């Protein structure tokens, strides 16, 4: 990961750019932009991407578009934050949180049999707008001074490379680490799946990436899809 890095000043979305070139570039190629004008989040939401944050997409070519690739991104972000002294955890299915606030979001997209795009947004030096302050944080706010974006990116690429190899060779070890870093386990949560709101206790993340919940004594497996999760 990161042998070839395409750096852009401005783009609509690095995920879209990555999809358009996926066929022509080797696996592990990275697209990174200073700003995105149409950054996208999960569930069709937009993703604010002003200058100062790390907005990147990695082009991968694993055998299939595996939703667990999001965990490759999440663990790499958690390790990168640890390198800068920030302790973070994974909020299933695809966010990284620091002290109750979101610092990073991950968006996996792809075309079966062709490519997977691992999109990562990490709030580094970008200020968080007031209306999002309650729920979002950036590294600069936590540390109190500006960080060198380039070294944050290099650390992230290194950790992505490591976790992607673990994913390919020992997905069981990847998932063991995910469980260790998932801070919602044992806690009451609400999962929103379409129009359905499912309240219960988050018990475990299973090897296929799904969430096992205890719903009033009944076990239910929530597959990783277009779901979102709230803490009580």
For the chain, how many helices (H) and strands (E)? 5, 12
Q: For residue 206, how far is the Cα from the chain centroid?
A: 18
Q: Which residues bind ligand BTN (CB under 6 A)?
A: 13-15, 36, 39-42, 45, 47, 49, 55-57, 95, 105-107, 119-121
Distance CA 32, CA 8 (A): 6
Distance CA 94, CA 84 (A): 21
| Structure tokens that stand for 140 in this block | 């600069």
Region at 208 (left for phi over 0; alpha for psi -120 to 50; beta for the rest): alpha
Q: Which of 25, 50, 29, 28 is nearest to 38 (CA)?
A: 50
Shortest reach from residue 169's CB to ligand BTN, in Å: 26
Cβ nearer to ligand BTN, comparing 170 with 230: 230
By beta-carbon distance, which residue lies closest to ligand BTN?
105
Cβ nearer to ligand BTN, comparing 57 with 138: 57
Cβ nearer to ligand BTN, comparing 14 with 182: 14
Distance CA 4, CA 2 (A): 5
Shortest reach from residue 76's CB to ligand BTN, in Å: 14
Shortest reach from residue 214's CB to ligand BTN, in Å: 26
Do 99 and 137 form a contact (C-beta atoms < 8 A)?
yes
Cβ nearer to ligand BTN, comparing 106 with 172: 106
Shortest reach from residue 32's CB to ligand BTN, in Å: 8
Cβ nearer to ligand BTN, comparing 139 with 220: 139
Shortest reach from residue 56's CB to ligand BTN, in Å: 6
Shortest reach from residue 218's CB to ligand BTN, in Å: 29
Cβ nearer to ligand BTN, comparing 127 with 186: 127
H or E segment and range at residue 86: none
Region at 171 (left for phi over 0; alpha for psi -120 to 50; beta for the rest): alpha
């Amino acid at each position: 990961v990161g042998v070839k890095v395409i750096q852009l000043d401005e783009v609509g979305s690095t995920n879209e750019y990555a999809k358009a070139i996926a066929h022509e570039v080797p696996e592990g190629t990275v697209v990174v932009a200073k700003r995105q004008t149409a950054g996208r989040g999960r569930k069709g939401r937009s993703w604010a991407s002003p200058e100062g944050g790390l907005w990147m997409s990695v082009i991968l070519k694993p055998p299939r578009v595996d939703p667990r690739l999001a965990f490759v991104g999440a663990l790499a972000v958690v390790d990168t934050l640890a390198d800068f002294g920030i302790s973070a955890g994974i909020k299933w299915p695809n966010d990284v949180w620091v002290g109750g606030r979101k610092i990073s979001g991950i968006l996996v997209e792809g075309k079966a049999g062709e490519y997977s795009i691992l999109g990562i947004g990490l709030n580094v030096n970008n200020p968080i707008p007031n209306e999002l302050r309650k729920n979002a944080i950036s590294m600069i706010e936590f540390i109190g001074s500006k960080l060198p974006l380039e070294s944050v990116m290099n650390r992230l690429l290194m950790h992505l490379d490591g976790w992607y190899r673990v994913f390919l060779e020992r997905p069981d070890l990847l998932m063991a680490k995910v469980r260790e870093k998932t801070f919602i386990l044992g806690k009451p949560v609400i999962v929103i799946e379409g129009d359905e709101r499912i309240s219960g206790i988050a018990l475990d993340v299973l090897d296929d990436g799904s969430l096992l919940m205890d719903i009033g004594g009944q076990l239910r497996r929530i597959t990783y899809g277009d779901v979102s999760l709230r803490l009580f």
